[in-house]
Amino acid sequence: MTATDLTVDATGVTATRRRRAFVLLGGVQATLIFTLAAIGVPLPEIGRELGLERADLILLSAAYGLTFAGLLLFGGRLADRYGGRRVLAAGLLLFATASAAAPFSPTFEALLAARFAQGAGAALVAPAAMAVLRAVFPSPAAYGHAMATWGGLSVLGATAGNLLSGPLAEALSWRWTFAPPFVVAVVALGLTPWLLPDTAPNRGRTLDLPGALLATSGLTLGSYALVVTDARPWSSAGVLVPLVAGAALLGAFLLAERRIRDPLLPPRFLLDRRRALALATIALSACGTAITFVLLSLHFQQERGWSPSQTSAAFVPFAVALIASGRAAGPLIGRYGPRAVTAAGLGTGAAGLVLLGLTGLDAAIPYAYGPLPGLVLLPAGVAASFAGAAVLATDGVPREQTGLAGGLLNTAMEFGPTVLFAALLTLGGDASSLAATGAALAVAALAHHRG
């Protein structure tokens, strides 16, 4: 143990304990996104075993994200109201229970319910983890450095989900893809009282239950409507009814928030231009990553005839570039600032998506010359943009609103891709989607540069 390990901050916490707490919280955050992505590669096997139609598979894939995105704002308010560590423990318990039930599901309905419950647990865990992180790193400089690393953890989790789910499903069964989330949740639940500081509840804050109900219902219905556009036409009642209802509920939510004393989402919270751009960056970057995983996974298996394990292996360079860029992002942010790093990351990610759109989905072009260059540039840019945007999104946020900031950050990560993904699928769900996302990232980079 070094002298640095023995240094303490104003709260009396050693550097070693802070690092261990960050590893625990970061592992949990990455696992939440791992769980979102891990079911993607083995979906065809799940469909064959349970006799599911395409629409059922789409709903099963989206179920976790629906409750995750829909409940995040309320989860953030709960963390701010009752204390991050308490809400984190409650969320981990629900998440672990659902992860244990999912692999034993005998029917589609049981598996769907488990995925919904997993998402509800994740919606409590994600903002609570950020609230606890603020307590672990109380100084603004240390917290900003931690957020620079935190920003890339979600993309790392999604990448791990794609890398591990294929081999697990092929060697054992798709049911084993639920084992890592269960193990991480149980371990984290056991270590939480020992490693994580308690966070004082804010008894003066109300929960704004009407606002939570409106926001959750609106986001969930809107997300559902956009997800099913892949299986149903936009003009069908199955799309229009939940879409209109969701939009109406979100409109009612925004009106209601302007009239109460302690709103779930204070309107002025989003008026900060840097924060708004940061949330847009997170949504766009997450969309680029999500659509790349989906389109390339299908391309590798359907067009090139690769197995699930080969498909997962094809994303190894993606993971390597992501980790390398994530490690470099923190020092670069310290030297050049989060805005410059975010803009550079968006530009690099846009170049990667354009390359993938031009050559990545052409089966006649070898992997090394087709998908590979884009699979290196995209994660390098996304890791940098996520790191910079996470710092910008949480910079200057009062301690008592850390859970709210965490809820918004994760909502952008979950709901943003749902909206953009549906729009891009309307364009054709092919190379044009990748090119369009790349263009959107390039525009966002320009906006950050000018801002």
Instruction: Read off the pLDDT of each residue in 374-382 and give the average, rounded to a whole number.
Output: 90
Q: How far is 348 from 21, CA to CA, in rounded Å?
A: 32
With tokens 């590893």, the residue in question is 23
Query: Do residues 349 and 289 touch, judged by C-beta distance below 8 A?
Result: no
Alpha carbon 196 to chain centroid, angstroms? 22
pTM: 0.76
Q: How far is 152 from 150, CA to CA, in rounded Å?
A: 6
Total Cβ atoms within 10 A of residue 420: 22
Q: How far is 177 from 169, CA to CA, in rounded Å?
A: 7
Tally of helices (H runs) and strands (E runs) in the chain: 18, 0
DSSP 232: S
> What is residue 117's predicted lDDT score, i.e. its pLDDT?
95
| DSSP SS3 for 2 | coil
> What is residue 194's predicted lDDT score, i.e. its pLDDT?
87
Domain-wise residue ranges, the chain: 13-196+206-450
* Between residues 286 and 100, the one the model is more confident about: 100
For 117-137, the pLDDT digits (tens) are 999 999 999 889 988 888 888
Residue 174 has pLDDT above 90, yes or no: no
> What is residue 148's predicted lDDT score, i.e. its pLDDT?
74
For residue 65, give the H/E element and its range: helix 54-82
* Between residues 176 and 405, the one the model is more confident about: 176
Query: Across 161-170, 210-219, 368-377, 395-404, which has the greatest mean pLDDT?
Result: 368-377
For 82-94, the pLDDT digits (tens) are 888 999 999 999 9
What superfamily would CATH give domain 13-196+206-450? MFS general substrate transporter like domains (1.20.1250.20)
Confidence of residue 101 (pLDDT cuts 50, 70, 90): very high
| DSSP SS3 for 52 | coil
| DSSP SS3 for 14 | strand
Rg from Cα positions in the chain: 21
Query: Across 162-171, 341-350, 440-449, which has the greatest mean pLDDT?
Result: 341-350
> What is residue 11's predicted lDDT score, i.e. its pLDDT?
47
Q: How far is 233 from 362, CA to CA, in rounded Å?
A: 28
For 68-80, the pLDDT digits (tens) are 877 887 888 888 8
- Locate all alpha helices (DSSP H) within 270-401, ordered by sequence: 273-298, 308-314, 316-336, 338-355, 371-394
* Between residues 260 and 432, the one the model is more confident about: 260
For 322-357, the pLDDT digits (tens) are 888 888 888 888 888 888 888 888 889 888 888 888
* Between residues 212 and 126, the one the model is more confident about: 126
Q: How far is 184 from 27, CA to CA, in rounded Å?
A: 8
Query: Do residues 146 and 91 touch, judged by C-beta distance below 8 A?
Result: no
For 273-306, the pLDDT digits (tens) are 778 888 888 888 887 787 787 778 777 877 888 8
Q: How far is 59 from 135, CA to CA, in rounded Å?
A: 37
Q: How far is 265 from 256, CA to CA, in rounded Å?
A: 10
What's the chain's average pLDDT? 80
Instruction: Read off the pLDDT of each residue in 158-176 and give the average, rounded to a whole number.
Output: 80
